[in-house]
Structures are given as structure tokens and as C-alpha cells.
Amino acid sequence: MRLATDEAAAKRIANLFAETFDPEKTAASAFETKDGWSAEIHFAQEPDRASVMALLQAAGANAESAVFETVAKKDWVAASLEGLKPVRVGPFVVHGAHDRAKVGANQIGIEIEAALAFGTGHHGTTQGCLMAIEDFARHRRPKRTLDLGTGTGVLAIAAARRMRRPAVASDIDPVAVKTARENARVNRAENFIRFTKAAGTNAPLIRGRRYDLVLANILLPILKPLAKPARSLLAPGATVVLSGLLVSQANAAASTWRAQGLRLVSRRTVDGWTTLTLKRGRY
């Protein structure tokens, strides 16, 4: 599927499809052309066009302008990730193995190869969360961090590398858990992070502990029901970072979590995606 549009819409489309579809079978990209910008989604099998059109509309695009065509078989997931440049967010540099030399002496390099899990650092939600982690780290160090929906483990690794404190990271997808554990090893963070397969907070490794920093870069339909069970896991004064939210969804997420006794501290938007930082307690 190809759609010519403006830069902001192209990035929103690519991000939304990357969040929604199986990354093993779908590759999404946004890039500049001589006539403007284009969003392209490559599917391993022909998709349900009604679902594709609905997602395009959700991204604010003119769905009727989308062009569908069948192309020769190719590893489009690998092809779409060729040439990705390192992402720099504060002290963090998220990069592939081929860019190790581009990490400065005073920077925190996080090596994440494109794999069967979400989180290479190029997505606006990941960047927003990395900014929030750095904001937190400037003021305190958590006794324990929880990363719900860890994907590649990039956020848990960033928190562990930046603050060198214990973390628990979970994902409902066993492939993601395996990928994240290997990424933690590659990034010398395996001694700080324990990984578990879990749906929400339902895992023995998660329950029975209190967390000073909770990260949840997940889509809104999952973030909302997480609010109530997550409340019992929050230490006094805990900070919660929520992302995976389109701008239009941010207020709904904030309202749900504020109902659990949290207050909104900040919100930031990167490439059409909003990251919320909330804190337990009044001060």
C-alpha cells in the first residue's frame, strides 16, 4: 500500500501500522520523494483492505488516495530498515550494530537490531519515553523500575543503563521477551533486568513489589484497563510514563490514570504521538 501525503501524515501512518500489525509480516516506512512525502506498507500477505482504510482514516489521511499493488517477493522488513540512522535522545543513542562507532564516549549507546519486536528507537513513542526517563534520572534514582510491554527492551535497558537500578520488564509476546533478554545481554544490562511473559501485571515476578518508575509504551485499549491493577504496584511518589498514544487519545489515557490517584506532570508529542508523565501523590 502506498499513499502520497505530507511529512507529518506519512510518519503517523507508518507509526500506526508498525504498532498495529505483526512486525514479522509487515514493514512500514515514511520517506521523502521528489514530490513530497510517501507512506508505504509492505505486507507478506494481502491485507484486509477495509482495516487498512480504517487505519489510514484514524491517522488523518485521505484513505481514498491509497494505492494497492502486488510486488515481487522480498524481505521487506529488512529492506525497510536499511539505512536507519542512530537516534539520539538526550544521553541515549539507539543504534544498530553497524553504527557502534558513532556512539560518543559520554553517550549511552543502546544497540537494538531490527527484530520480531517493537522498539528500534525511531518511533515517536519510544523517543518520548526516552526523554521522560532522562527527565526522571536527573532528579532521582528508582529503587525498582517496571517496563510493561517491553518489546525489544529498549526502555528497560535505557533505564538500567542510565540509573543502574533493578528493573522488571514484561511482554505478552514470548518472542519479544526472548528478544529483549538478548538485547539486554548485548547492552550489558542483563544483571539489572529480569524479564517475564505476562498479560498486563499478571505475573508472579511483577506482583508483590512496589515500583518507583513504571513505563508503559502500549496502545490506548491496553493502557486503560492497566490503570487499576497497576495502582497497587506504585510506590509512594512513583512516576508513571505512558505512551503509544495518538494526540487525540492522550486525554482519555490521562483521565483513566488520574482516577487512580495520579496527577499529570507533563506531556510531549513526537511525530504525532504523545507521551504522558504522571506522578502518584500531590507533590
Residues 152 and 266 in one domain: yes
In a domain, 109, yes or no: no
Please give the Cα distance from 78 to 85 (Å, whole number). 14
Among the candidates 36, 52, 81, a domain finishes at: 81
In a domain, 112, yes or no: no
Q: Please give the pLDDT value at position 116.
A: 46
Residue 150 corresponds to which cell in the numbers above?
517491553
Amino acid at 268: R
Q: Please give the pLDDT value at position 82.
A: 53
In a domain, 89, yes or no: no
The DSSP output letter for 123 is: S
Amino acid at 199: A
Among the candidates 23, 54, 81, a domain finishes at: 81
Residues 240 and 131 in one domain: yes
Please give the Cα distance from 162 to 140 (Å, whole number). 11
Please give the Cα distance from 90 to 113 (Å, whole number). 20
Q: Please give the pLDDT value at position 73.
A: 64
Going by C-alpha positions, the residue among 204, 86, 222 that lies closest to residue 154 is 86
In a domain, 62, yes or no: yes
Q: What is the largest CA-CA distance in the chain?
A: 58
In a domain, 196, yes or no: yes
Going by C-alpha positions, the residue among 36, 60, 55, 8 that lies closest to residue 272 is 8
Residues β-bridged to residue 214: 146, 240
Q: What SS3 class is residue 62?
A: coil
In a domain, 179, yes or no: yes
The residue ranges of the chain whose pLDDT is under 70 are: 72-84, 114-121, 282-283
**Cα 165–267–222 angle (5° rounding)?**
75
Residues 168 and 38 in one domain: no
Q: Please give the pLDDT value at position 278.
A: 98
In a domain, 71, yes or no: yes
Residues 135 and 240 in one domain: yes
In a domain, 88, yes or no: no
Please give the Cα distance from 76 to 82 (Å, whole number). 10
CATH number for the domain spanning 262: value is 3.40.50.150
8 Å CB contact between 254 and 276: yes
Residues 244 and 154 in one domain: yes
Please give the Cα distance from 254 to 140 (Å, whole number). 23
pLDDT digits (tens, 9 = 90+) for 130-142: 999 999 999 999 9
Residues 43 and 123 in one domain: no
Residues 127 and 261 in one domain: yes
Please give the Cα distance from 114 to 123 (Å, whole number). 12
Amino acid at 104: G
Residues 13 and 150 in one domain: no
**Domain region containing 247:** 118-280
pLDDT digits (tens, 9 = 90+) for 87-103: 899 999 998 887 888 88
Q: How many structural domains does the chain have?
A: 2
Amino acid at 69: E
Q: In what order do the strands lie in the sheet with 87-89?
A: 87-89, 92-95, 108-111
Please give the Cα distance from 71 to 67 (Å, whole number). 12
